[in-house]
Structure 1
Amino acid sequence: MGLFDFLGNKKNREEEEALLMEQEAEQREKALEELKEKHKDLGWPSPGKLNPIRIEGQENLEFEDPLSDERKDEIGQLVYEEDLNLDTIKFFSMQELLFLLTVQEGYQRIAPIPGYEANHRKVYNEILGRVRDAKTLYVLFDSMTGYPFIDHGYINIYSSEEYAQAAVNAFSKQFRKLIVRPCKADNDAESASERRTFFDYLYYLGAENFIVDNGFYRAHFKRNEIVAAPGDWGNGGDKSPKNPELVFAILDFLGEARWPVKYEKRDAVLAAKEMRMAQAAQAAHYIVPMMHEGPVEVLDDGRYKFTADTKIRFPEIKSSDEKHFLPVFTDGIEFSKAFRNTDYKGAVFGFGDILKFVGDKNGIIINPNGQKVMIPRDRMLALHMAAQAASAGKNAGTKTQKKKLSETEAAVQSAMSGKGIAAKASDEE
């Protein structure tokens, strides 16, 4: 093969490659135009409703759009980038990022977008990083419970005080009594493992889901995307009792019970939330303040093992109607509110043991310096019977056993539906 033949072949190959690249570019452009055509009727999104609740005469609870149409046009086109440049979005405001995320998710549902997974993750991670590293976040607290407001299973967190206050004003039209609290993160700690932030606190409340900037452009996140559970913090983990499911059920019930509204299915909703709370209360292990004299063995999980020679003394709390309750706590945070600087030590017990300790007291009060939920002694017994019946049901094989189980469950339901509620929500100080 001569030199001219070689040069000729090389030129032909370059021309063929250039032609191929041109054809591929034309195909991509055509595909992009077809994709845009499928999205044409969508338009750019606007902020969604605060929540599904409808109040007569207050149907329009949407906030003013924080982005202009021109800015939407600029940002929205990025949804078609095949490889979104991180430098392009790192200077966006939180609302601009949330808008872009909203466009990505909405457009993807209608017609698949090239590079969607990678580009969506870039925007999502940028938002998540800003929430995690924020010096201050603004959280809606329920004045009726004193804890973060739970709305349809979510905590509402805002990137600015202005947006949070706008949400409070909107929720007030739904007769919610909320306040804005700035929550600061300890981002100056030398390592992430040393940080203790608002999201650590949320773990103890069982609040695993939150919304950023609800009512404006928003996104849903998981608490464990920000920080791991306390039990995962090295040194063998924190083995002290924690009852996030119970605390969340309590707060969800109290928020509903103290919400001054009426609606068609409210009694059924309250009953379901109360039963969830009661069942979680029965399944929990608690920190119980006590003093003891005589031999005692402390187990690895914090439980105490006594002998016949051990003498035990428990504190009690008296209600305004002169009833006496044994205080119990869901976790160390709640225990320290009442017994940090006392001679009482915290020991871990299950519900069945605590029922024995109640003795002639009227029942227990869970977190007396927190949620203040009272469970009368007869309701405790009913819950304990229900747990035993459920356990027996797993092994019920004969008709006689099943009939007996059915009768037991009916008796429990009858006891639980007596006057008053199974777990009485107390507003007493």
Structure 2
Amino acid sequence: MGLFDIFGGKKNEALAEQEREQALAAQKEQALEEVKAAHEGLEWPVIGRLNPVNIKGAEDSVMKETVSEDRKDAVGEMIYEEEISPDSLKFLSSQELLFLLTALEKFHKHSPLPGFEANHRKVYNVVLDRIRDAEYLYVLYDLATGYPFIDHGFGCIYFEKELAEEAAALFAKQYRKLAVKECLVEDKQNHNKVGFFDFLYYIGIENLIIDNGAYRARFKRNEIVAAPGDWGGDKKMMPSNPALNFAMMDCLAERKWPVNYEKRDEVIKAKEMRMFTLMRNGRFILPMKHEGPAEVMEDGRIKIGKDSKIEFLILKTPDGKQFLPVYTDGFEFAKVNKGKEWNAGVFRFQDLIRFVGDRDGVTFNPDGHRIIMNKQQLMVIEAAAQQADALKAKKS
């Protein structure tokens, strides 16, 4: 083979490679044009309604736009990229990031986008990272319950105070009395202090929306942080009733919402039944003293000896009624101002009925939810549950 043949061969290979690259680029460009053609006429997303609630005169209340048309055009083009660069996401504002996530979903639903799954996950993960790394988040609190507001099963948190306040103003048109609370996500100076997302675990809020009312995204609490261990001890021995706490919050909020709507009574009754069912199956903390032998069982409950004397903390109302304070978890129990002479016992719902005695009833989380149940209500719940259990056993 001659010298010219060698150089000629290399030149031909280079030309062939260049032609392949050009053909591939042309193919990609044509594919991109086809994808864009499939979305022709489809507008960029706009901010939608806050929620499905219809209040006369406020049906069309929406937040003002948070992303300009120019920025929509610039950010929106990223949906057509086969692989969105992480570096390109760093400089987007939180609302631009959520707009991009919304645009990906809207356009892909209309016609498939290239690399949608990977790109959507990439953008979503950046949203989660920003939530996780935030020093403070702004949370809507329900003044009727004193706990975070629940909108159709979701807690509402915000990156910016201004957005949270605008959302609270929109909710006010739905007769919701809300306040914006600045919440420290994690106290880096005191690692023993319960973090914000740990707190949400205890009160049962697992579903969340970031920036509800603007461009938004739904996510799970456990995508930010895992469920905490109760009190740092044996988890089996420490009561934790997040589902019940959530049900109590949800029921209280519905009861105190000053509106009338079709089937309101049925909705409240259903929420009460969910709450009662969870109560009946729960384990609770009661402040107590005892003299004589008592055995702590594997599940944390206390078995009182036959000759032991037991005394419970009593709450007295101005009208002379007496209630046993009952706590759903250590977080609520820590709120009580009790003397050092009081210990804590773990008991079942059935034990509460027995311990009430001639008192008027119990108060669940008196410094929190403050759900008051008289003795008759407790007995009705237990009787109904036993009847349901018997019917279920009979059918099986």
Q: TM-score, normalised by structure 2?
A: 0.94
Aligned to 2:198: 200
- Three-state SS of the structure 2 residue aligned to 1:337 is coil
* 5+ long unaligned stretches in structure 1: 399-429
Q: Is the contact made by 1:185 and 1:197 (CA closer than 8 Å) also made in structure 2?
A: yes
**Superposed, which structure 2 residues align to 1:195-344 within 5 Å?**
196-231=194-229, 239-344=237-342
* 5+ long unaligned stretches in structure 2: none
Identity %: 49
Q: Is the contact made by 1:290 and 1:346 (CA closer than 8 Å) also made in structure 2?
A: yes
Change over 3 Å in CA distance of 1:109–1:328 after alignment to 2: same
2:71 aligned partner, one-letter code: R
- Three-state SS of the structure 2 residue aligned to 1:255 is helix
Cα distance, 1:324 vs structure 2? 2.1
Aligned to 1:372: 370
Change over 3 Å in CA distance of 1:135–1:54 after alignment to 2: same
Q: Is the contact made by 1:98 and 1:218 (CA closer than 8 Å) also made in structure 2?
A: yes
Aligned to 1:414: none
Change over 3 Å in CA distance of 1:231–1:238 after alignment to 2: farther
Q: Is the contact made by 1:101 and 1:124 (CA closer than 8 Å) also made in structure 2?
A: yes
1:54 aligned partner, one-letter code: N
Report the aligned-residue RMSD. 2.1
- Describe the superposition over 1:195-252 as per-residue Cα deviations: whole angstroms up to 9, x where unpaired: 7321111111100011111111111111111111112897765852110000100000
Change over 3 Å in CA distance of 1:299–1:150 after alignment to 2: same
Q: Hey, what's the Cα distance between the residues in 2 that align with 1:340 and 1:36? A: 67
Aligned to 1:409: none
Q: Is the contact made by 1:231 and 1:239 (CA closer than 8 Å) also made in structure 2?
A: no
Q: Hey, what's the Cα distance between the residues in 2 that align with 1:307 and 1:233? A: 27
Give the total of aligned pairs. 396
Q: Hey, what's the Cα distance between the residues in 2 that align with 1:146 and 1:302? A: 29
Q: Hey, what's the Cα distance between the residues in 2 that align with 1:80 and 1:251? A: 43
Change over 3 Å in CA distance of 1:73–1:235 after alignment to 2: same
Aligned to 1:419: none
- Describe the superposition over 1:251-309 as per-residue Cα deviations: whole angstroms up to 9, x where unpaired: 00110100111111211111111111111111111001111000112234322122201
Q: Is the contact made by 1:157 and 1:212 (CA closer than 8 Å) also made in structure 2?
A: yes
Structure 1 range deviating more: 122-131 or 269-278? 122-131
- Three-state SS of the structure 2 residue aligned to 1:395 is helix
Aligned to 2:188: 188
Q: Hey, what's the Cα distance between the residues in 2 that align with 1:68 and 1:145? A: 37
1:243 aligned partner, one-letter code: N
Q: Hey, what's the Cα distance between the residues in 2 that align with 1:36 and 1:119? A: 17
Aligned to 1:45: 45
Aligned to 1:412: none
Q: Hey, what's the Cα distance between the residues in 2 that align with 1:35 and 1:397? A: 57
Q: Is the contact made by 1:317 and 1:324 (CA closer than 8 Å) also made in structure 2?
A: yes
Q: Hey, what's the Cα distance between the residues in 1 that align with 2:338 and 2:122? A: 45
Q: Does 1:352 align with 2:364?
A: no
Change over 3 Å in CA distance of 1:109–1:233 after alignment to 2: farther
Q: Hey, what's the Cα distance between the residues in 1 that align with 2:214 and 2:352? A: 47
Q: Is the contact made by 2:48 and 2:62 (CA closer than 8 Å) also made in structure 1?
A: yes
Q: TM-score, normalised by structure 1?
A: 0.87
